[in-house]
Amino acid sequence: DAMVIQNPRYQVTQFGKPVTLSCSQTLNHNVMYWYQQKSSQAPKLLFHYYDKDFNNEADTPDNFQSRRPNTSFCFLDIRSPGLGDAAMYLCATSGAGGEEQYFGPGTRLTVT
Amino acid sequence: SQQGEEDPQALSIQEGENATMNCSYKTSINNLQWYRQNSGRGLVHLILIRSNEREKHSGRLRVTLDTSKKSSSLLITASRAADTASYFCATEGNFGNEKLTFGTGTRLTIIP
Tell me: the pLDDT tens digits for A38-88? 998 999 999 999 999 999 999 999 999 999 999 999 999 999 999 999 999
Q: What is the Cα–Cα distance from B98 to A12, expressed in whole angstroms?
A: 31
CB-based contact A97 B48, cutoff 8 Å:
no
| Residue of B46 and B27 predicted with greater confidence | B46
Instruction: State whether residue B61 sits within 8 Å of chain A by CB.
Output: no
pLDDT value, residue A2: 65
pLDDT value, residue B5: 84
Instruction: State whether residue B25 sits within 8 Å of chain A by CB.
Output: no
Q: Least CA distance to B42: which residue of chain A? A: A105
pLDDT value, residue B107: 96
pLDDT value, residue A50: 92
B30, B104, B107 member nearest A42 (Cβ): B104
pLDDT value, residue B96: 63
pLDDT value, residue A60: 96
| Average pLDDT of span B23-33 | 93
* Exposure on the CB side of residue B1, measured as CA atoms within 13 A: 12
Instruction: State whether residue B32 sits within 8 Å of chain A by CB.
Output: no
| Average pLDDT of span B71-94 | 95
CB A82 within 8 A of CB A101: no
CB-based contact A97 B44, cutoff 8 Å:
no
Q: What is the Cα–Cα distance from B59 to B6, expressed in whole angstroms?
A: 22
Residue A57: alpha-carbon gap to chain centroid: 13
B81 phi/psi in degrees, rounded to 5: -55, -35
Check pLDDT > 70 for residue B1. Answer: no
Give the number of other CB atoms < 10 A from CB of residue A5: 14
- Bridge-partner residues for A64, per DSSP? A78
CA distance A7 to chain B (A): 13
Burial class (CB in 10 A: 0-12, 13-18, 19+), A112: exposed
pLDDT value, residue A1: 66
CA distance A97 to chain B (A): 4
- Bridge-partner residues for B57, per DSSP? B62
| Average pLDDT of span B17-33 | 94
Say what percent of chain A tops pLDDT 90.
91
| Average pLDDT of span B95-111 | 88
